Amino acid sequence: MIASRDRIQLTAAAYLDWEAQQPIKYEYLNGEAYAMTGGTLAHNDIAVNLTTLLKNYLRGKPCKVRMADAKVGVTEQGPFFYPDVLVTCDRRDRTAKTIVQHPCLIIEVLSPGTEGYDRGEKFKHYRKLESLQEYVLVSSVNQNVEIYRLNAQNKWELTPYSADEVGTSRPVEFTSLDFQGAIADIYEDVEFVPESSDSMTEIL
């Protein structure tokens, strides 16, 4: 999902009450609510693939995977974000009604217009989550996955994966879940189509 430029100033409490009545989702940062808009079909396909892979892997385990409708609260006063995919293994989140507060894994599928925001401002706030162990950035324009992991020295380390480098011998790892998977599975049935070649544009 992508945050648009439309923004509304609210307190955190007012935002939570107000957003629950809206037909679309809004993220909340620095006292402002930002409308969320849809991404590309490739963006959606990647998120579905990741959710499916993790759902199947976590079956029978005390963890839960959630998609873009699940809101993450960094604190009770915000910020509040809608990551593309998240996993929580915390009991408190299993009984939560509207907000996940203790995710161990957060995945954002990058879009060209919001990549800088996901890498910078958003990651800065996600790092405040004491439960977070891995932050994953997945490209929607080529087969490229970047994983930031919190190491034993409490530092975030980057491990990149790409189709050219990985091949079949080096699986993508989410160490917070002890998960390994092929990068090809993350991008299964994903077609990378330039924006200018969108079928509706061609028809018009």
Q: What is the pLDDT of residues 21-63, one digit of tens each?
A: 999 999 999 999 999 887 899 999 999 999 999 999 999 999 9
For residue 195, the model assigns a pLDDT of 62
Start-end of H helices in 12-73: 12-19, 41-58
pLDDT one-digit tens code per residue, 80-114: 999 999 999 999 999 999 999 999 999 999 988 88
CA angle 183, 184, 186 (to 5 degrees): 65
Mean pLDDT of 63-74: 95
- Assess whether pLDDT exceeds 90 at residue 15: yes
Structural domains of the chain, ranges and CATH numbers in brackets: 40-190 (3.90.1570.10)
- Residue 194, SS3 per DSSP: coil
Gap between the Cα atoms of 54 and 175, Å rounded: 13
- Assess whether pLDDT exceeds 70 at residue 198: no
- Assess whether pLDDT exceeds 80 at residue 197: no
Mean pLDDT of 70-84: 97
Chain centroid to CA 135: how far? 8
pLDDT confidence band for 167 (50 / 70 / 90)? low
- Assess whether pLDDT exceeds 60 at residue 176: yes
For residue 39, the model assigns a pLDDT of 82
Share of the chain above pLDDT 90, in %: 79
What's at 156, amino acid-wise?
W
pLDDT confidence band for 202 (50 / 70 / 90)? very low
Placement of tokens 């162990």 in the chain: 133
- Label residues 22-42 b or e (16+ Cβ within 10 Å = b): eeebbbbbeebbbbbeebbeb
pLDDT confidence band for 170 (50 / 70 / 90)? confident
Cα–Cα nearest to 161, from 150, 149, 151: 149
pLDDT one-digit tens code per residue, 130-140: 999 999 999 99
**pTM for the full predicted model:** 0.91
